[in-house]
């Protein structure tokens, strides 16, 4: 995906307070032209608040919003040229599909002939050709979502704001619509700002992810960056399972860093730990899928720890193992069902759990 580095919309030290509630604070974030940016975070973390201010439906308590360097903080919503797909910003139930899609163009006083042409194009692009005359209630949930997208995209907005547009759909439809959204983003070239609290959805769709927690931006990066090099314990855990081992004595050794886990040296390559020399003690973070299970006889070979098997959960494509270290700390592994040791794993038995140097990552405690 080619995303230009050009700044498009800048949020500058944006904050919002509702009565006593601090919904958002000190948010500085640059949205790049053409990117698919996802705001990800738990309930109440400030995602919708951010989107509402971007749309112009809410006024910030402090800070400002710029588009191409021009202050638009107080520009009314209908003059921002931003498309919105929000929950509660529903389709008009008494209008047909075509009338719904045509609505933003009518409001903008586009000539009738042009409206007909654009609506026809839009129906085709969202895969609803032949359904223009239908009433909204004669459509499935996924089809309604596509009408909502068509209505938001028909006036060619420079920015499309989507607040959990897929959350009401069942799993299968949701996955179909994810593919659809990714396709539309590519085809239309519009900048998307998408809100979700579903980490898999965020990882699958985004060029960049902004992880929110309690009204603060915790980390901004590509899906790979936030997943593989989380900046905090919160981000590490929010994006999936993460093993965290308490380590200390962090030191440089050639091109790598070495740290001690209960006196046992563990090595990390520098690439993933550029900030790590300032951290001590720290958490050594390793994803369960990066830990390999080996026989106890291999103990001491390379980077790893000894752990006992406590529980095995069969998950179809892989096996999840809950292991226990000597200090009672838990360690999770995710190994393929085809792994040579899977068939005679024994509870209580000790194994060597190893990972390669580039898969360890340090996080401050």
Ligand X SMILES: Nc1ncnc2c1ncn2[C@@H]1O[C@H](COP(=O)(O)OP(=O)(O)OP(=O)(O)O)[C@@H](O)[C@H]1O
Q: How far is the CB of 251 from Mg ion (least distance, A)?
A: 44
CA atoms within 13 A on the CB side of 169: 19
Q: How far is the CB of 308 from ligand X (least distance, A)?
A: 39
Q: Of the two residues 90 and 275, which places its CB atom closer to ligand X in the complex?
A: 90
3-state helix, strand, coil in the chain (%, to 5): 30, 35, 35
The H or E element that residue 178 is part of is helix 171-188
Which of 358, 350, 308, 352 minimizes the C-alpha distance to 329?
A: 308
Q: Which does 151 bind (CB under 5 to 8 A by kind): ligand X, Mg ion, none?
A: none
Q: How far is the CB of 77 from Mg ion (least distance, A)?
A: 18
Q: Of the two residues 87 and 116, which places its CB atom closer to Mg ion in the complex?
A: 87
Q: Print the binding letters for residues 14-53 with ligand X: x by CB under 6 A, - otherwise.
A: ----x--x-x-----------------x-xxxxxxx----
Which of 126, 130, 83 minimizes the C-alpha distance to 107?
A: 83
Strand ranges for 114-270 from DSSP E:
159-163, 191-196, 208-213, 216-221, 243-253, 256-261, 264-269
Which residue of this chain has its Cβ atom nearest to Mg ion in the complex?
A: 48
Confirm or reject binding of residue 50 to Mg ion (CB under 5 A): no
Confirm or reject binding of residue 59 to ligand X (CB under 6 A): no
Count of H-run helices and E-run strands, the chain: 8, 20
Q: Of the two residues 11 and 268, which places its CB atom closer to Mg ion in the complex?
A: 11
Q: Which whole-number Å values give the CA distances from 144 to 78, 88, 124, 126, 250, in the listed order?
A: 23, 13, 14, 11, 55
CA atoms within 13 A on the CB side of 332: 16
User: Residue 281, preceding bond cis, omega within 30 degrees?
Assistant: yes
Q: How far is the CB of 237 from ligand X (least distance, A)?
A: 17
Give the interface segment with Mg ion, choosing from 47-55, 58-66, 149-157, 242-250 (CB under 5 A): 47-55
Q: How far is the CB of 47 from Mg ion (least distance, A)?
A: 5
Q: Which does 45 bind (CB under 5 to 8 A by kind): ligand X, Mg ion, none?
A: ligand X
Strand order in the sheet with 36-40: 82-85, 159-163, 191-196, 36-40, 208-213, 216-221
Q: How far is the CB of 50 from ligand X (least distance, A)?
A: 7
Q: How far is the CB of 225 from ligand X (least distance, A)?
A: 21
- Its sign, for the CA torsion 116, 119, 125, 128, is negative
The neighbour count for residue 238, using CB atoms within 10 Å, is 23
Q: Which does 41 bind (CB under 5 to 8 A by kind): ligand X, Mg ion, none?
A: ligand X
Confirm or reject binding of residue 48 to Mg ion (CB under 5 A): yes
Considering only residues 237 to 256 of the shown chain, the ones binding Mg ion according to CB under 5 A are none
Q: Of the two residues 195 and 245, which places its CB atom closer to ligand X in the complex?
A: 195
The neighbour count for residue 334, using CB atoms within 10 Å, is 18
How many of the chain's residues bind ligand X (CB under 6 A)? Answer: 12
Considering only residues 149 to 208 of the shown chain, the ones binding ligand X according to CB under 6 A are 197
**Residues at the site binding ligand X, with contacts judged by CB under 6 A:** 18, 21, 23, 41, 43-49, 197
**Residues at the site binding Mg ion, with contacts judged by CB under 5 A:** 48
């Amino acid at each position: 995906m080619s995303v230009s580095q050009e700044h498009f919309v800048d949020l500058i030290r944006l904050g919002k307070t509702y009565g006593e509630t601090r919904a958002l604070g000190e948010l500085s974030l640059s949205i790049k032209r053409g990117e698919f940016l996802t705001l990800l975070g738990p309930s109440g973390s400030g995602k919708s608040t951010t989107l509402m201010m971007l749309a112009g439906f809410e006024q910030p308590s402090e800070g400002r919003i710029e588009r191409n360097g021009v202050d638009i903080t107080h520009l009314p919503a209908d003059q921002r040229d931003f498309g919105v797909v929000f929950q509660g910003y529903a389709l008009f139930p008494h209008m047909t599909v075509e009338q719904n899609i045509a609505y933003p163009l009518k409001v903008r006083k586009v000539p009738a002939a042009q409206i007909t042409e654009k609506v026809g194009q839009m129906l085709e692009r969202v895969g609803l050709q032949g359904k223009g005359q239908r009433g909204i209630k004669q459509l499935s949930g996924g089809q309604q979502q596509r009408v909502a997208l068509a209505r938001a995209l028909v006036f060619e907005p420079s920015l499309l704001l989507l607040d959990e547009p897929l959350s009401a759909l069942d799993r299968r439809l949701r996955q179909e619509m994810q593919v659809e959204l990714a396709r539309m983003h590519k085809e239309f070239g519009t900048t998307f700002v998408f809100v979700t609290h579903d980490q898999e959805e965020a990882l699958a769709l985004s060029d960049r992810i902004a992880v929110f927690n309690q009204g603060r931006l915790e980390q901004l990066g590509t899906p790979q960056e936030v997943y593989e090099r989380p900046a905090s314990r919160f981000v590490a855990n929010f994006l999936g399972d993460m093993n965290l081992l308490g380590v200390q004595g962090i030191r440089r050794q050639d091109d790598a860093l070495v740290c001690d886990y209960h006196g046992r040296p563990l090595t990390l390559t520098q690439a993933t730990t550029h900030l790590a020399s300032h951290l001590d003690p720290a958490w050594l973070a390793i994803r369960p899928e990066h830990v390999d299970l080996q026989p106890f006889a291999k103990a001491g070979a390379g980077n790893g720890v000894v752990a006992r098997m406590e529980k095995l959960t069969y998950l179809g494509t892989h096996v999840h193992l809950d292991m226990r270290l000597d200090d009672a700390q838990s360690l999770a592994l995710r190994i393929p069902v085809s792994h040579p040791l899977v068939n005679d794993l024994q509870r209580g038995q000790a194994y060597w759990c190893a990972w390669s140097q580039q898969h360890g990552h340090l996080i401050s405690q």
